[in-house]
C-alpha cells in the first residue's frame, strides 16, 4: 500500500486514543479519531429527536448528513454538516448514543468508507473498534490496546470528575457502564470489536503511555 496506515483498536478507556495521538505526532503523520465520527452521527440523531437505537429512523438521516474530520493547528476537528462539533460530542449522552448508533450496519458502512478514503490519500494513525478488522484490514500495522475493566473505570471517572461530571457515580457503577459498552461493541452482528490474529496486544493496565507508545513505534520501525 502506498501510504503508512496504522490501526489501533481496543475497548473504551484503554488509552488507545492517547497512544494513537502520540504515535502520529512522533511519526509526523495524521491522527484520525474515528470514534468522533460516530459521536457526531449520534449528535445528529439526538438533535433530530431520534433515538440512536432506532435504525429505521436513523437511516434517512444518513442521506442528508455529511461528517468529516480536519486537522487544524495539529488538533482534529470533527464537522457535522459543515459545523465544527468537536466541543459538543464528549458528553455522556453522546457517548452512549455513539455506542448505540454504531450497531447499525449502514452507519458503519458510511463512516468506514470515509475513513478508507482518508487512508488511501495519506499516512495516518486511526483508532477505533474495527479499524484493523474492517476499515483497513490490509495494513500490516495492527495493534489492540486494552486494560482491565476496573482500571478503565477508574481512569474514566477521574477524567469526568476533572470536568465536574459524574460526581455522584461510584466506581462500581462506572465499571458496569463500561462492561455494558464492551458487550455492545463486541457482540454487534456487523464489524464487532475484536482483536485480529496479527494485531499486537498492548495491555495498559499496569503500563504507562510512553511505554505503550514505544512498543507501537518499535514494531513499526522494525
Structural domain boundaries of the chain?
Answer: 1-29+124-222, 32-122
Alpha helices by DSSP H, listed for the chain, are 16-27, 34-47, 55-62, 92-101, 105-119, 149-162, 171-187, 209-221
At 74 the pLDDT is 77
101 in Cβ contact with 45 (< 8 Å) = yes
> Class assignment of domain 32-122?
alpha beta
What is the largest distance, in Å, between two alpha-carbon atoms of the chain? 50
Count Cβ atoms below 10 Å from residue 221 Cβ, excluding itself: 7
Q: HSE (CB half, 13 Å, CA atoms) of 121?
A: 7
Q: What is the dihedral of CA 75, 80, 83, 85, to 10 degrees?
A: -50
Domains 1-29+124-222 and 32-122 fall in the same CATH topology: yes
CATH number of this structure's domain 1-29+124-222, picked from the four choices 3.30.70.100, 3.40.50.1220, 3.10.150.10, 3.40.50.300: 3.40.50.300
220 in Cβ contact with 6 (< 8 Å) = yes
Mean pLDDT in runs of 10 for the chain (222 residues)? 90 93 94 93 98 97 93 88 96 90 93 93 93 96 97 91 86 93 88 94 96 96 73
Amino acid at each position: 500500500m502506498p501510504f503508512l496506515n496504522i490501526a489501533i483498536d481496543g475497548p473504551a478507556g484503554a488509552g488507545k486514543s492517547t497512544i494513537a495521538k502520540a504515535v502520529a505526532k512522533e511519526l509526523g503523520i495524521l491522527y484520525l479519531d474515528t470514534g468522533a465520527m460516530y459521536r457526531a452521527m449520534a449528535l445528529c440523531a439526538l438533535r433530530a429527536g431520534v433515538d440512536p437505537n432506532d435504525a429505521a429512523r436513523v437511516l434517512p438521516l444518513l442521506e442528508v448528513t455529511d461528517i468529516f474530520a480536519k486537522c487544524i493547528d495539529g488538533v482534529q476537528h470533527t464537522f457535522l454538516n459543515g459545523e465544527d462539533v468537536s466541543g459538543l460530542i464528549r458528553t455522556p449522552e453522546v457517548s452512549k448514543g455513539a455506542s448505540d448508533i454504531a450497531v447499525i450496519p449502514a452507519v458503519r458502512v458510511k463512516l468506514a468508507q470515509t475513513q478508507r478514503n482518508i487512508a488511501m490519500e495519506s499516512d495516518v494513525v486511526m483508532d477505533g473498534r474495527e479499524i484493523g478488522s474492517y476499515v483497513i484490514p490490509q495494513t500490516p500495522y495492527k495493534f489492540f490496546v486494552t486494560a482491565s475493566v476496573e482500571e478503565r473505570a477508574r481512569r474514566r471517572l477521574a477524567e469526568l470528575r476533572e470536568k465536574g461530571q459524574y460526581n455522584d457515580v461510584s466506581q462500581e457503577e462506572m465499571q458496569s457502564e463500561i462492561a455494558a459498552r464492551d458487550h455492545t461493541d463486541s457482540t454487534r452482528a456487523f464489524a464487532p470489536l475484536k482483536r485480529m490474529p496479527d494485531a499486537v496486544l498492548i495491555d495498559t493496565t499496569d503500563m504507562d503511555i510512553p511505554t505503550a507508545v514505544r512498543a507501537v513505534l518499535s514494531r513499526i520501525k522494525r
